[in-house]
Amino acid sequence: MEEMNENVEQNEEQDTEEVVEAESEIVEKTKELNEDLQKESNEDVEAELQRYRQIEQARIEKKEAGKQRMKKFGKVLIVVLAFAIISVCGGYGGTYLYMKSHTASNQKPEVNTQVIYQSVQRQDENGNNLGALSIKQVAELCSPSVVEITTQTVSQYWNQTYTSEGAGSGVIYTEDGYIITNNHVIKGASTIGVILNNGEYYDATVVATDAAMDLAILKIEAENLVPVVFAQEDSVKVGDVAIAIGNPLGSLGGTVTDGIISALDREITLDNEVHNLLQTNAQINPGNSGGGLFNDHGELIGIVVAKSTYTQSGTVVEGIGYAIPISDVKTTIEDLMTKGYVSGRVYLGVGLTEISDSQSARYYGVRNLGVYVTAVEENSPAKEAGLEENDYLVAIDGQQFTTISEMKQLLNEHEVGDSVEIILVRGSRTLVVHATLAEKTE
């Protein structure tokens, strides 16, 4: 299993030398003040920190204004998309790609039950259908549909408040402001911002999330946006052109990289979830999470989610990135938009931890390596079946497992309403219990 790198710090690249100098001063001063806050709780220090945060916000606004000025010097081809019934898009999850995960404010807008489907006609000035486009044409066509996402996460430590920043990418789902990104990009965030290709900034609110697919839908108050166009579900083949557009390093929004589809259905485990992903050699970097992977017709074929950096033996890996195939995310997005959750997902209702080495076993005071119950939710199938905290789970329907991902795979082979047999060890006793799986609605 490829090792996924996490928590890569954002390194802003500014539009002018003046802003670069200001940022350096802000970062150094903020670091000093945060160190002071760790040593003592001092109202003067907190006030000073707040003042520098305000300066940093002003810097961000100046960056946005600079982007708008730069747009005057170069034309970006924005194609008006005709809307009709075709398909939907989505995103998927991953452990590597950038973000300090977050979930924005607790107040969610009312879910839009009228999903807008899209189609587009690729024609030249004479009305003839276009074939494959050049990379330049795809970049001009699709860049307006890809956004930068910025986040701030507030945490408490030893009675002190700290703010960390993150960044990622997203794609525009509808012209009235629905945005798709990865759940890990926005998980836990106190505030979320979206920067359009033209430099305009909007506050964003979380509409719905699906941690299992690492997918989230955001909403901004904007109109006349340029949505992505979705490829046919079975149209992607090995060797096809793959063009990634996103916000690598959290500061290089609109970056375009190209390659091919290297493989289909790569089985990759991310955050204890097994997924079949598109593999591409288009350059993927921290901050690309949630961005688009397009074909040479300017159609979205996947949502960028992760990249491999090292093998288990420590060998450095290059040119291996992953994206959720569009066929896997369409139904997820439709469910999130219409129901707020993904229908048909089985639910057991337990918190789990995985003990994978002897050192961890000694720390937790257990003998066996494997999966242990850390919590049992009230009114859940697990509670009704009699599962308890600290139970050592061994097998489901006679099939043994030693990892959380293996256990989830076994559960996901079932449907809502199925009864499963769970073998567990509690103390010195081996027990068999039966649980009727419910539907996960959160």
Catalytically active residues, by annotation: 184, 214, 289
Per-residue H/E/C for 150-210: EEEEEEEECCEEEEEEEEEEEEECCCCCEEEECHHHHCCCCEEEEECCCCCEEEEEEEEEE
CA 327 – CA 341 distance, rounded (Å): 18
CA 230 – CA 88 distance, rounded (Å): 6
Q: Is 267 helix (H, G, I), strand (E, B) or coil?
A: strand
- What does the DSSP 8-state code read for residue 10? P
For residue 22, which amino acid is it? A
Q: Are 23 and 13 in contact (CB under 8 A)?
A: no
Q: Is 33 helix (H, G, I), strand (E, B) or coil?
A: helix
Q: Are 143 and 197 in contact (CB under 8 A)?
A: yes
Q: Are 293 and 59 in contact (CB under 8 A)?
A: no
CA atoms 419, 425, 426, 428: torsion sign:
positive
Q: Is 238 helix (H, G, I), strand (E, B) or coil?
A: coil
Q: What are the CA-CA distances from residue 183 to residues 123, 168, 206, 412 (Å)?
A: 36, 11, 10, 20
Q: Is 218 helix (H, G, I), strand (E, B) or coil?
A: strand
